[in-house]
Amino acid sequence: MPSGHTITRRVEFSETDAAGIVHYSNFFKYMEACEHAFFRSLGTSIADKSTGVGWPRVHVSCDYRAPLYFEDEFRIALRVTGKTRKSLSYEFTFERGDIAIAGGTLTVCCVRKDEAGEMKATDIPVDISDKIKITD
């Protein structure tokens, strides 16, 4: 059962600020890209229309430790730290070689639209939930 996922990326020029450092907001995009890769590793997509569920963000944070620059190659690792009937929590680590760049967290809630079109929390589909393991 997957309990996490790791991807490798290279910093694009457009992701940097005037100082040549990755703009802080891009770390949230990197976390999302890693989460999407994690869902693909489960054999599904975070936007799989056949399930009828969505995954809005309910909490996100990031602590920065060292800068990333244009063309730096780095790893983003996702670890599942929490799973309830209706939500998933992840921890992310960002590393360039053996240097810790940043660490983040993300919590998502499984939702489905009701008859009125309103999003309501719903149980994570069993075929997805059964594939996800929490790691310590």
Please report whether residue 110 resides in a domain: yes
Please report whether residue 73 resides in a domain: yes
- Whole-model pTM: value is 0.92
Question: For position 115, what pLDDT does the model report?
Answer: 86
The rounded average pLDDT for each run of 10 residues, N- to C-terminus, in the chain (136 residues) is 87 96 97 96 90 94 98 98 97 98 98 89 95 85
Question: For position 2, what pLDDT does the model report?
Answer: 67
Q: How many distinct structural domains can be found in the chain?
A: 1
Radius of gyration of the chain (CA): 16
CATH of the domain at 59: 3.10.129.10
Question: For position 121, what pLDDT does the model report?
Answer: 95
Question: For position 19, what pLDDT does the model report?
Answer: 93
Please report whether residue 17 resides in a domain: yes
Between CA 1 and CA 29, with CA 27 as vertex, the angle to 5 degrees is 70
Please report whether residue 107 resides in a domain: yes
> What residue numbers bound the domain in which 113 lies?
4-129
Question: For position 105, what pLDDT does the model report?
Answer: 98
